[in-house]
Amino acid sequence: MNFWFVQTINGISYGMLLFLLAAGLSLVFGLMNIINLAHGSYYMLGTYIGITVYRYSKNFVLAVVGAAIALAILGVLMQRFILRRLYGNHLGQVLLTFGFVFIIADISLLVWGGYAQNMPTPSLFRGATTIGGITFPTYRLLVIGVGLLVALFLWWFQKGTKIGVAVRAAVDDEEMSQAIGLNVPLTTTAVFGISTALAALGGVMGGPFIGAYPGVDVEALLLALVVVIIGGLGSLRGAFVGSILVGLLDNFGKALFPELSLFTIFAPMAIILAIRPNGLFGRAL
């Protein structure tokens, strides 16, 4: 009983990490029609930078902020000076961002070396909590909490703020938005920065239990792509539902069928692609 409950909590918390990743990926696609394959690399950089900041400051919050700012800057620079030139050119974007995957992977290897690293769990959330006879890790609850907060924030941002409305307007009709005075280029750049900052946040939150190592970028990207395919590109709701689903599937798959763990993720993805090609909540490509 304990086993199943803990697996569920782990699955949901892993899903929250994926949500931070997938939300950014989905946002960027929804707004700019850009498929950014370097997204998993942002996650990995977030973890590495978080680990380095933590090593010098011993402060978890600082690690989160530091990594988020660093990645936001990287994202803005990438979008402003490089990706913007490929607007509308899907193949070009895929190739370019894929190239960045290799570049970032090699630089990370150079800077942080080839061995696995991780962050110590922040002292407040260390250990396990027992409620009603069931023991589960406290830190995972924090991850779920942060994930829900971010989801709510993004929801409110989209629906309730001027900037959010501006973003949605730009998505719907870029020319018209520019015609009525919205600064579309600035909006898109800002959204890209937010997206990479979210990936970095995911990376730092994942630092204590997944860690950073060569290969984690591809693992993260793979799962994020599955999430947005199942949930649907361009939809926040889709990213949320999809990430919880994939988080649970991955955890239970590895627990129940270790040799078939990849199958338990990709089979549902294949089914969704066959039945609803745009994903559960997605809009057409």
Judged by the rule CB under 8 A, the positions of this chain that interact with another protein are: 2-3, 6-7, 10, 14, 105-106, 109, 113-118, 120-121, 126-128, 135, 137, 209-211, 213-216, 219, 250-251, 254-255, 258-259, 261
In the complex, what is the shortest distance from the CB of residue 36 to another protein, in angstroms, rounded to a whole number? 21
The three-class DSSP label of residue 237 is helix
In the complex, what is the shortest distance from the CB of residue 135 to another protein, in angstroms, rounded to a whole number? 7
Nearest-angstrom CA–CA distance, 190 and 209: 30
In the complex, what is the shortest distance from the CB of residue 188 to another protein, in angstroms, rounded to a whole number? 33
Nearest-angstrom CA–CA distance, 84 and 76: 10
In the complex, what is the shortest distance from the CB of residue 126 to another protein, in angstroms, rounded to a whole number? 7
By beta-carbon proximity to another protein, the closer residue of 30 and 207 is: 207
135 beta partners: 130
Nearest-angstrom CA–CA distance, 221 and 36: 10
Nearest-angstrom CA–CA distance, 24 and 193: 9
By beta-carbon proximity to another protein, the closer residue of 255 and 280 is: 255
By beta-carbon proximity to another protein, the closer residue of 121 and 158 is: 121
In the complex, what is the shortest distance from the CB of residue 242 to another protein, in angstroms, rounded to a whole number? 17
By beta-carbon proximity to another protein, the closer residue of 99 and 114 is: 114
Going by the DSSP 8-state scheme, the letter that residue 281 receives in this structure is S
Nearest-angstrom CA–CA distance, 99 and 82: 12
Nearest-angstrom CA–CA distance, 281 and 44: 28
Compute the CA torsion angle 159, 162, 164, 168 (nearest 10 deg): 90
In the complex, what is the shortest distance from the CB of residue 165 to another protein, in angstroms, rounded to a whole number? 37
How far CA 210 is from CA of 81, 118, 160, 178, in Å, comes to 32, 7, 34, 43
By beta-carbon proximity to another protein, the closer residue of 219 and 268 is: 219
In the complex, what is the shortest distance from the CB of residue 254 to another protein, in angstroms, rounded to a whole number? 4
By beta-carbon proximity to another protein, the closer residue of 17 and 31 is: 17
In the complex, what is the shortest distance from the CB of residue 285 to another protein, in angstroms, rounded to a whole number? 30
- The dihedral through the CA atoms of 217, 222, 226, 232 has a sign that is positive
Nearest-angstrom CA–CA distance, 6 and 11: 8
By beta-carbon proximity to another protein, the closer residue of 184 and 254 is: 254
Let me know: does 51 contact 216? Beta carbons within 8 Å.
Answer: no
129 beta partners: 136
By beta-carbon proximity to another protein, the closer residue of 165 and 255 is: 255
